Structures are given as structure tokens and as C-alpha cells.
């Protein structure tokens, strides 16, 4: 995961085991995650704009493509491990 360098994937800073638990340290994601974003809209009685949904979909596709391009059969899909995407709006979206 540390070798990935994409504007659509949150960067992995470090990882370590502590008491049989794996901890993954990532860059700070000011925008929060996608679940929280959709929940806030729902609680406010608002709907996500089609442009936003389309943008998120495109960024997910680009992130998955980046993971597969860098796979070389050595890494598990980082997207499944990190479950985060970086938005081009200078915020991050976590899945």
C-alpha cells in the first residue's frame, strides 16, 4: 500500500502489529468518509446531487484501476485493505 501514489487513494504512512491487532496509519482525511457524508445529507433531508455521485463513481473507478495497475500479483488490493479514497476536492472520502 505504501508504494501506491495516487490522488484518489489515501496514502499509507505506516502499519504495525500491537497485541495481535494490525494498525494502519494513513494521512489525515479532512473531508471524512463517504458514509458520514451520505448520512449527513440524509439527516438534513437533502439528496446528493447527480454530479457529486458521478464524480465519486469516477474516482472509485480510477482508484481501482490504479490498484490493479500496481498489483503485479504481489499485493492484495489496497482499496479493500484501506477502504479509503481521496477526493480531488482536497478532501478525502472513505468507503
Q: 81 an active-site residue?
A: yes
CA 86/CA 6 separation, integer angstroms: 8
Q: Which three cell numbers stand for residue 95?
A: 468507503
Which helix (H) or strand (E) segment is 26 a member of?
A: strand 21-26
Which of 36, 50, 81, 90 is catalytic? The answer is: 81
Cα 56 from Cα 22, distance rounded (Å): 28
Place of cell 505504501: 2
Number of Cβ within 10 Å of residue 57's Cβ equals: 10
The residues assigned a catalytic role are 81
Amino acid at each position: 500500500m505504501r508504494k501506491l501514489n495516487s490522488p484518489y487513494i489515501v496514502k499509507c504512512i505506516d502499519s504495525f502489529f500491537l497485541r495481535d491487532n494490525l494498525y494502519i496509519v494513513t494521512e489525515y482525511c479532512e473531508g471524512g468518509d463517504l458514509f458520514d457524508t451520505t448520512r449527513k445529507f440524509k439527516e438534513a433531508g437533502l439528496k446528493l446531487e447527480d454530479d457529486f455521485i458521478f464524480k465519486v463513481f469516477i474516482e472509485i473507478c480510477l482508484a481501482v484501476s490504479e490498484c490493479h495497475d500496481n498489483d503485479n500479483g504481489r499485493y492484495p488490493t489496497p482499496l479493500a485493505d484501506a477502504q479509503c479514497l481521496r477526493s480531488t476536492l482536497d478532501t478525502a472520502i472513505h468507503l
